[in-house]
């Protein structure tokens, strides 16, 4: 019998296992922090030299990871970041937290995962535990990753161990953090699952083992498809109720009084973040292999993707009623992050809103206290803006102010007092005001 599981298990239990995290973004960096706070030594790997240099100087680029914490671990020599992947030989556990975006046709782009797997294969050795956390379709771990790693001649489940554990990050959530959200774990073999579960048992409040990597991959998709479908439903109801002169927010509040059989979801200008706009299409793609068309999932995506256009059209109508054309209209967008009180712009509906306004000839600027600059987006290569100061004079000079993200730091009463027209996509303004429209 192979001794590799026994040796790795001993290292994990004693916190002597060295952890390698590939991808130091919104998923990878909080995971690095959690392992460090639990007494593990961690090496972070990333292809971006700017990120690596910043981290090694103790500077964080993610709002909820403090510079003070980073410098403390650097001082203890418990953490370092590198672009040199040869260092994978020196770690015991390799956790993959790289992007899994969609291509232009909304098909899964697994290039980051597969390229990373090929790099790992170069340095794979006996005793390695490799865990994928990036969201993907069922079968990625055992059908796509395993053949690459098995080409090394090392035996999965005996010489090295392979597992999938979906990330469940929720930036800005003050009730739950990486360590307090239960972790689903699926392994290629029982030994793989046991070791992966043991690892996360050291840092997570509760682990939830499942029978396979495919089940674990499907869990993440179910979670986000559930949210996507319900957000689409309430967004469609918003449009219908608006035409019936019914306040959808009042309806939701009243429905929320039912203590069973109902869960509130809230309308908005569209969905954002890496997960909800992307993950459902991973199952849509995989379902084609079994000759099934995911009409429900695709319809939800279509409704949610259309919401930024709804916001723009409502704004154009409101400007027209005031005798103002959208062409050369001064538009101020408040909030460019995809949700309140964070700095994450990934898939933010505000980006689409700004882009559409610009296409229509609007003069668009934005304010976001958490996002000083917005540039480098794959879908919006021409977008390069910096946050402008929000002053009473700027509000008065704007033809329309769009509340795209309801950051807590905004004083909405003050904004409404000074702006001639406010388009509220988040129900941030609770009282009815003559210069406020909901969208």
Which residue carries 């001082």 as its tokens?
Answer: 75
Residue 108, SS3 per DSSP: strand
What would the two tokens of residue 62 be?
């993610």
Q: CA dihedral defined by 7, 217, 137, 212, rounded to 10 degrees? A: 60
Cα(159)–Cα(146) distance, integer angstroms? 13
Tokens 């930024």 sit at which residue?
308
Please tell me the distance from the alpha carbon of residue 201 to that of residue 12, in angstroms, as a whole number.
Answer: 10
The 3-state DSSP class for residue 68 equals helix
Question: Are 199 and 12 in contact, with CB atoms under 8 Å apart?
Answer: yes
Q: Between β-strands 400-403 and 207-210, what pairing exists: parallel, antiparallel or unpaired?
A: unpaired
Q: In the chain, how long is the greatest CA-to-CA distance?
A: 81
- Dihedral, CA of residue 322, residue 326, residue 330 and residue 332, to nearest 10: 90
CA distance 329 to 181: 45
d(CA 86, CA 83): 9
192 assigned to active site: no
Q: Which long-range contacts (CB under 8 A, 24 or more apart) does 48-52 make?
A: 48/24, 48/83, 49/83, 51/24, 51/81, 52/24, 52/81, 52/82, 52/83
Comparing C-alpha atoms, which of 125, 144, 141, 123 is closest to residue 133?
A: 141
* Phi-psi group of 221: left, alpha or beta (phi > 0 → left; psi -120 to 50 → alpha; rest → beta): alpha
What is the DSSP track for 221-265? HHHHHHHHHHHHHHHHHHHHHHHTT--HHHHHHHHTT-SSS----
* DSSP-assigned letters across all residues of 129-160: EEEE-S---TTIIIIIIHHHHHTTSPPBTTTB
Burial class (CB in 10 A: 0-12, 13-18, 19+), 361: exposed
- Which residue of the set 275, 278, 350, 385 is catalytic? 275
Report the distance separating Cα 375 and Cα 358, nearest Å: 15
Residues with a catalytic annotation lie at: 275
């Amino acid at each position: 019998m192979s001794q590799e599981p026994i040796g790795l298990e001993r290292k994990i239990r004693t916190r002597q296992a060295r952890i390698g995290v590939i991808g130091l973004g919104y998923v990878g960096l909080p995971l690095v922090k959690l392992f460090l706070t639990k007494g593990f030594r961690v090496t972070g790997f990333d292809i971006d030299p700017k990120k690596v240099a910043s981290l090694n100087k103790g500077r964080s680029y993610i709002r909820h990871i403090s510079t003070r914490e980073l410098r403390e671990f650097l001082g203890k020599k418990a953490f370092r970041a590198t672009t040199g992947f040869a260092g994978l030989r020196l770690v015991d556990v390799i956790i993959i937290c790289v992007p899994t975006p969609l291509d232009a046709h909304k098909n899964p782009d697994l290039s980051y995962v597969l390229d990373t797997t090929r790099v790992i294969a170069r340095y794979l050795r006996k005793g390695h535990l490799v865990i994928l956390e990036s969201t993907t379709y069922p079968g990625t771990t055992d059908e796509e990753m395993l053949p690459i790693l098995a080409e090394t001649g090392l035996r999965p489940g005996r010489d090295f161990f392979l597992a999938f554990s979906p990330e469940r990050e929720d930036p800005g959530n003050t009730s739950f953090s990486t360590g307090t959200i239960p972790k689903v774990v699926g392994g290629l073999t029982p030994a793989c699952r046991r070791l992966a579960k043991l690892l996360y048992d050291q840092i997570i409040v509760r682990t939830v083992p499942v029978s396979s990597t495919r089940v674990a991959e499907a869990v993440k998709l179910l979670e986000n498809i559930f949210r996507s479908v319900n957000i689409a439903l309430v967004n469609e109801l918003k449009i219908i109720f608006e035409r019936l002169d019914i306040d959808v927010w009042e309806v939701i509040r009243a429905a929320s009084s039912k203590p069973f059989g109902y869960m509130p979801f809230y309308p908005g200008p569209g969905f954002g973040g890496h997960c909800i706009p992307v993950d459902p299409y991973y199952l849509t793609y995989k379902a084609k292999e079994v000759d099934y068309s995911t009409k429900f999932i695709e319809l939800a995506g279509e409704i949610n993707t259309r919401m930024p256009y709804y916001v723009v059209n409502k704004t154009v109508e409101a400007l027209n009623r005031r005798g103002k054309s959208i062409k050369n209209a001064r538009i101020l967008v408040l909030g460019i992050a995809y949700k309140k009180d964070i700095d994450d712009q990934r898939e933010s509906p505000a980006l689409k809103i700004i882009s559409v306004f610009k296409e229509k000839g609007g003069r668009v600027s934005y304010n976001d206290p958490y996002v000083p600059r917005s540039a480098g987006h794959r879908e919006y290569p021409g977008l390069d803006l910096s946050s402008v100061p929000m002053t009473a004079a700027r509000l008065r000079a704007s033809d329309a102010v769009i509340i795209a993200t309801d950051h807590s730091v905004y004083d909405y009463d003050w904004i409404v007092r000074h702006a001639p027209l406010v388009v509220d996509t988040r129900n941030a303004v609770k009282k009815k005001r003559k210069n406020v429209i909901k969208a």
